[in-house]
Structure 1
């Protein structure tokens, strides 16, 4: 009688445990790779940066807390899908304030079909002729979706105003319109959350120096970013008026102190989770079906030139 070619159950379990351990190591490696973006500095800039900051959260503690919060984000995601909720989270702040870093950690382990990031470029000539909010509307969520805006319609209250891309009449019209626009979103069933990442003048200068001296980060610097250093006080005045005129009960602003990147990420994610009444949702336990073996099947041998070269 021919032997069953399928592996034994004990072999399956042993292989699964080895695979799971390897996967967990890969996950940790991925976290370290992301964190390395903060460590690739010239020695001089690193010395200045650490002297200005002092010790942050120890890395092992940071990873434990981040993974715990990311596990809760998965529960939030499942609840949003199950309940058909619509969520918009806006991330605003000065250049280099850490918006992208926290967005990356929020979305890192979530389903991109459920949670997506919107970072719109400068408007085209056609978009400039439209109703100001029009180009943002197509990106709003449907039921069961979460949208993270890496900058948003608040560009008009910040960079467009300070850099002269919008005149005072346009800015005034924006401030008149945006509270009602956001109330309309909330009335439509969207849960709207607005975060402002706050850093000091000295901290922004250090982070810009890091980008200038780090070839892996220079792409993050644009001429507009550099001009924002010159106009620090103008941005401050614009931010203060923005808070005064758009901090409405239906969609309040939440300020995240951002000088310490690790604490800012953890505090923001932890706070975001407190804003939703999410809970575990019913789900069927996944069962892996048995592999079907066909003794007549032979895997085709493909030409070597179809394969990516194994250089590493």
Structure 2
């Protein structure tokens, strides 16, 4: 049964979420479609550029992404702290970069409104936009609708392009966040689309390794005046142990080099139900996280099936369930096996 998004998102517990969208009707999001003989590789650029544009407009940062042949993964961070400092004028500027400004707002921006009632109505509308600019659902809606329209136009058809609503998982602690990012970044390798992290194009790991930036906006319109934004950065080796810190971070408290070594180590493990892997080499980075390779492997693999709406320790799951009005969280037993 479909659950309301409000029962899946709890910013009190975490600002990090893993989102997945998949195509319908055997549609190919990207790559070579063997049924029609068409190549849709160029659509990967659509997604990356739109994702980057939206991250400039919204108070939402991208931690990790991977664009596959018929679905994509995103790990998002809701940066509520930044949105609190945006002025009403900046909120209006950001929202109207995506949508046509109502006449009332245009007149307000031009200083033409004199009526108190009209000004109050405009400010109510801007408050609503402020909330939407911190909303994962609105971010994903803008991303998916844009790609669906372009794909349907290209194929000369109508109807749904995406398989219902996007799926989301709350990432409640550092282990969940890093494991999920690793799972997302390894998707091209596991699908045998790449044999190494350096070759995993259209993924965040590839972008981090090669310092690749998308083309972004063409310099026209309101979006050109907004600050450019890349992937969420790594803050280094210093790590705090308070659970609440993860929600407030402007970056990931981990070393980028260590993260790259970690993802490579996970990719070296041969999985019989997956086609690809990275040729093995000795690595001891997992010891610095006080976790064994077996624990990390359990946690990162489970994002594809065992884990459902949220991932974290038992204590953090109980808090998340309380704040989202749940009596239980699916996959709790599987998580207890990983959080030793």
Q: Tell me the TM-score normalised to structure 1 length.
A: 0.30
Name the one with the larger helix percent.
Answer: 1
TM-score normalised by structure 2 residue count: 0.28
Larger radius of gyration, structure 1 or 2? 1
